[in-house]
Amino acid sequence: MIRLDATGLAATRPGRPLFAGVSLTVRDGDRWGVVGLNGCGKSTLLGILAGTVEPEEGTVRRGRGTRLAVLGQDPALSGPTVRDTLDAIAGVEPWEAAAVADRLGLGPLLDDEVGRLSGGQAKRVALARALVSPSDVLVLDEPTNHLDIDAIAWLEDRLVEYRGGLVLVTHDRHFLDRVTNRVLELDRGEGFVHDGGYDAYLEGRALRAEREARAEDRRRNLARTELAWLRRGAPARTSKPKARIESATAVVEGRARSAARPGDLPLHHGTPRLGDRVVELHDVGHRFALPDGTEGPWLFRHLDLLLDPRERLGIVGVNGSGKSTLLDVMARRVEPVEGRVEHGSTARVGVYDQRGRHLDPTVRVRDALTGPHREADWRDAALLEAFWFDEDAQWAPVGLLSGGERRRLQLLLVLAEQPNVLLLDEPTNDLDLDTLRQLEDFLEDWPGALVVVSHDRAFLERTVADVVVLDGAGSAGRRPGGYAAYEAERRAVRSSRRAGAAEVPRGSAAGTGSAAASAAASVGGGNRGGDRSGGGGGNAGPSPSTLRHRLRAAGREVAALQERHDDLADRVARAGAEGDHETLTEAGRELASVGAELALAEEAWLELAAQAEERGLHL
């Protein structure tokens, strides 16, 4: 069924057009990824599809009764608390909203005021709201920003199971390749459709570049022929029609289509050499004080790190585990509670964090680079040009830049200072795919030390050799082998936990999830592709009444486990605040066990709900 049909869309921003003649149709089961350079109009296009932005040309039609759920670039939240915001969604059970929020790392924030949330936390709340809202089309702008790796993997699974239409903008290449089945590329004002995921987009783009190169070769050959004809003198020209002369002149004066973004990033030059001593952490630990004045739980303790002059280190862990804090400690922007941090005499540290440097929206881009104390010269213009800010963009106010262009400018300001130790906190947020690939190439050959906090799996795979893992319970340690080794270890742990949960006897202290277990057994019995009419036969699915009963039982169990999980989380927080390490250890172990049960119960509920939807049952 067609849910959205957009035809001939066009949009501009002051000074230049964004795109024109863009059309796409969204049906049930379509998963559209929208890609393109920063500033090409991706977020504007999503706003037009969502109905929050008016197109300058073209139309958008919705199917009758089609419901949209939208995650915008700067979402607004209603309700005094996170829980109130999610509970206000019509037709959604509170436990379901709380379960989704917990998967997105929002469990401890449910009772926080929305006005006091950080930008990343607010976006995760808005994502949870979009995911649980009843919808036929999901429109998501950078949904993986501010999520940890576990939450991204869960979001992938949820979107793969989503039955409606999906349109999203993302820079996460793994996510794009797994979730989408069609890609709309915005390139120099035009839209190009690729059937398939990220690999299909790369292949289609390469083929288009080859066609353009062949067309330019033909034009040059024809230009040489026509130029020789034009030069044969007045008699030859007068014997030919005027139209031929005009055509020949157009061919000769023609030019190849300019590249969307020429050149690489020539920023290696001038990086000062590092000595043997770079950045050292000796028995470092840190925690923050709670609002009541007591000490909060440890983020990490007893951490020793000696960075090498060619260090390639990633920092990974769940949201809230202290990754950004550790980076601030390494930069000496935060003094650790325990231990000491030392910098070598030759170390020049550059920090690119999630907040970025404050940029006055009224200041021109070139002046943001030079500051108020000097005028930009040709060297500044060349550096901006190399970082893909053309002459028009250099004279534009910062306020007219897209979110990705502002992030690119902030990155340039850090690199322009020529540090030899780079600390990057979520550098991939809002950057386009081309910038990411260029940044990866730059870091591969960069002669300094690099420490990266990132949730982008492809970026980590390309840029780091080892990882420091923060487990969220105060422990931190270095793991060799980079992100791939870390991910393989995590998969093995998850598999063993699932196997252990499946083997727990019914009625035992850790295995009270009988409804979830029976639901999982019924779902896992190979019936998804079989006849669900309720008739006999070994492959027949359960009857409608049985399916409704199982679904309600699974829902009750998820609600009970969620309540138990929340109680244990509060107990862990209190024990940490009181310094009761014995209770903290016991409650933490029980919380992990209940968390595994809750994950199985949620998966079982979702599977049963999918069966019910496929069979058209009204629940």
DSSP state string for 101-135: HHHTT-GGGTTSBGGG--HHHHHHHHHHHHHHS--
**Per the domain annotation, does 412 fall within a domain?**
no
Q: Which residue has the higher pLDDT, 535 or 319?
A: 319
**In the predicted structure, residue 536 carries a pLDDT above the cut 50:** no
| Beta-carbon-side half-sphere exposure of residue 164 (alpha carbons within 13 Å) | 18
423-476, pLDDT tens digit by residue? 999 888 878 888 888 888 888 888 899 999 998 888 988 899 899 999 888 888
Same domain (yes/no): 7, 135:
yes
**How many Cβ atoms are within 10 Å of 532's Cβ, its own excluded?**
20
Same domain (yes/no): 74, 193:
yes
Residue recorded with tokens 């910062």: 398
565, 575 Cβ separation under 8 angstroms: no
| Alpha-carbon radius of gyration of the chain | 28
Range list of H helices, 300-453: 323-330, 365-370, 378-386, 391-394, 403-415, 433-445
Q: What percent of the chain has pLDDT over 70?
A: 80
Q: Give the CATH number for residue 462.
A: 3.40.50.300
144-186, pLDDT tens digit by residue? 988 888 889 899 999 999 999 999 999 888 898 889 999 999 9
560-603, pLDDT tens digit by residue? 888 888 788 778 777 766 767 677 667 777 877 787 788 788 77
379-388, 515-524, 540-549 — which is least confidently predicted?
A: 515-524
Among 490, 519, 554, identify where a domain stops: 490
Same domain (yes/no): 174, 292:
no
Q: Which residue has the higher pLDDT, 460 or 538?
A: 460
Nearest CA-CA partner of 485 in 506, 507, 461, 508:
461
Q: Which residue has the higher pLDDT, 256 or 608?
A: 608
What is the predicted pLDDT for the residue at 565? 81
What is the predicted pLDDT for the residue at 243? 64
Among 428, 456, 490, identify where a domain stops: 490
What is the predicted pLDDT for the residue at 226? 61
Q: How confident is the model at residue 524 (pLDDT cuts 50, 70, 90)?
A: very low
What is the predicted pLDDT for the residue at 415? 83
Q: Which residue has the higher pLDDT, 407 or 2?
A: 2
**In the predicted structure, residue 264 carries a pLDDT above the cut 70:** no
Q: What percent of the chain has pLDDT over 90?
A: 29
Same domain (yes/no): 240, 340:
no
What is the predicted pLDDT for the residue at 485? 79
What is the predicted pLDDT for the residue at 436? 84
133, 345 Cβ separation under 8 angstroms: no
What is the predicted pLDDT for the residue at 312? 92
**Per the domain annotation, does 338 fall within a domain?**
yes
132, 92 Cβ separation under 8 angstroms: yes
What is the predicted pLDDT for the residue at 59? 95
- Parent domain of 452: 279-348+418-490
**How many Cβ atoms are within 10 Å of 190's Cβ, its own excluded?**
12
What is the predicted pLDDT for the residue at 241? 59
Q: Which residue has the higher pLDDT, 473 or 15?
A: 473
**In the predicted structure, residue 545 carries a pLDDT above the cut 50:** yes
Same domain (yes/no): 100, 244:
no
- What span, in angstroms and rounded, lies between the C-alpha atoms of 599 and 151? 12
Q: Which residue has the higher pLDDT, 187 or 556?
A: 187
Same domain (yes/no): 69, 133:
yes
What is the predicted pLDDT for the residue at 498? 54
473-519, pLDDT tens digit by residue? 888 888 888 777 777 777 776 666 555 555 544 444 344 444 444 44
Q: Rounded to the nearest 10 degrees, what angle do helices 119-132 and 94-103 cross at?
A: 130
Same domain (yes/no): 21, 54:
yes
Range ranked top by mean pLDDT from 121-130, 398-407, 434-443, 529-538: 121-130
**Per the domain annotation, does 211 fall within a domain?**
yes
Same domain (yes/no): 184, 117:
yes
**In the predicted structure, residue 265 carries a pLDDT above the cut 80:** no
Among 211, 235, 253, identify where a domain stops: 253
503 burial via Cβ count (<10 Å: 0-12, 13-18, 19+): exposed
What is the predicted pLDDT for the residue at 597? 80
Q: Rounded to the nearest 10 degrees, what angle do helices 433-445 and 403-415 cross at?
A: 10
- The answer to whether the predicted template modeling score (pTM) of the entire model surpasses 0.85 is no
Residue length of the chain: 619
**In the predicted structure, residue 50 carries a pLDDT above the cut 90:** yes
**In the predicted structure, residue 340 carries a pLDDT above the cut 50:** yes
What is the predicted pLDDT for the residue at 2? 92
**Per the domain annotation, does 403 fall within a domain?**
no
Q: How confident is the model at residue 116 (pLDDT cuts 50, 70, 90)?
A: confident
**In the predicted structure, residue 301 carries a pLDDT above the cut 70:** yes
Same domain (yes/no): 232, 308:
no
Q: How confident is the model at residue 402 (pLDDT cuts 50, 70, 90)?
A: confident
Same domain (yes/no): 219, 186:
no
What is the predicted pLDDT for the residue at 270? 63
Same domain (yes/no): 325, 428:
yes
Q: How many domains does the chain have?
A: 4
**Per the domain annotation, does 248 fall within a domain?**
yes
Range ranked top by mean pLDDT from 311-325, 330-344, 477-491: 330-344
162, 32 Cβ separation under 8 angstroms: no
**Per the domain annotation, does 473 fall within a domain?**
yes
Same domain (yes/no): 454, 594:
no
**Per the domain annotation, does 183 fall within a domain?**
yes
Q: How confident is the model at residue 66 (pLDDT cuts 50, 70, 90)?
A: very high
Q: Which residue has the higher pLDDT, 256 or 359?
A: 359
29-38, 264-273, 584-593 — which is least confidently predicted?
A: 264-273
